[in-house]
Amino acid sequence: MKKFISIICMLSFLFFFESCSSQSNMDPQVVTALVNSQDFSFHAQRANPINYDVINIATSMPNATGTRIFDLTGSNYSIDVRPNNLEVALPYFGRVFNPTYGNTTQSSYRFTSKDFTVNKSQNKKGRWIIKIKPNDVRTVDEIIIEVSKSGQALTSISSNDRQPISYDGYITKNEEQKVQP
């Protein structure tokens, strides 16, 4: 029993330091400038579904852990916030209450919004809370991005036709768009 407890402690210790080493360490002034300019990208590294049925199915698959199934590193899932444009491309794991039949692309969050409002505030610990409300997308109520001083971010999406979901990741500066003549 003592070996079991010591093995669990060592594994949790390793996972803690692995998660700390994978964090991006941006300068807090750069993070503040990105948030104030409203011109940044959120890159998702991990999806956190709320539905326990999805989590139970993922952990019951042979030769796979549930935590690795929701790992999004290496993929291009992001939210691009620009002053006049909001582009969302994120996967969805959970229950959809009003599905559209025959269209499998509607199971994820993929949309572009031109009409949206952004409210941002900073709490006592220096974390930015950015609330984005797209007005021209009828299924998404609100996107909340909570950004730490180091650039790490947690995004949650609330929708009126599916269960909520959150994503862990980080923010970066948007790439310059090339204008084609």
Is residue 132 within 8 Å of residue 113, measured between CB atoms?
no
Q: Residue 25: its pLDDT value, please? A: 76
Boundaries of every domain in the chain: 27-173
pLDDT in tens, 88-107: 999 888 777 776 665 555 67
- pTM for the model stands at 0.76
Question: In CATH terms, is domain 27-173 a member of 1.10.3470?
Answer: no
| Rounded Cα distance, 160 and 153, in Å | 23
Closest CA to 157 of 132, 136, 178, 177: 132
Residues of the chain with pLDDT under 50: 14, 17, 19-23, 178
Q: Residue 21: its pLDDT value, please? A: 44
Is residue 61 within 8 Å of residue 128, measured between CB atoms?
no
Q: Residue 64: its pLDDT value, please? A: 61
Q: Residue 133: its pLDDT value, please? A: 94
Is residue 89 within 8 Å of residue 157, measured between CB atoms?
no
DSSP letters for 111-165: EEESSEEEEEEE-TTS-EEEEEEESS-SSEEEEEEEE-TTSEEEEEEEESSB--E
Q: Residue 65: its pLDDT value, please? A: 61
Under 8 Å CB-to-CB from 93, ≥6 apart: which residues?
Answer: 47, 49, 51, 54, 70, 165
Which H or E element spans position 20?
helix 2-21
Q: Residue 22: its pLDDT value, please? A: 46
CA dihedral 5, 9, 11, 12 (to 10 degrees): 130
Closest CA to 31 of 142, 135, 153: 153
The two three-digit tokens of residue 54, written as one number: 């999805």
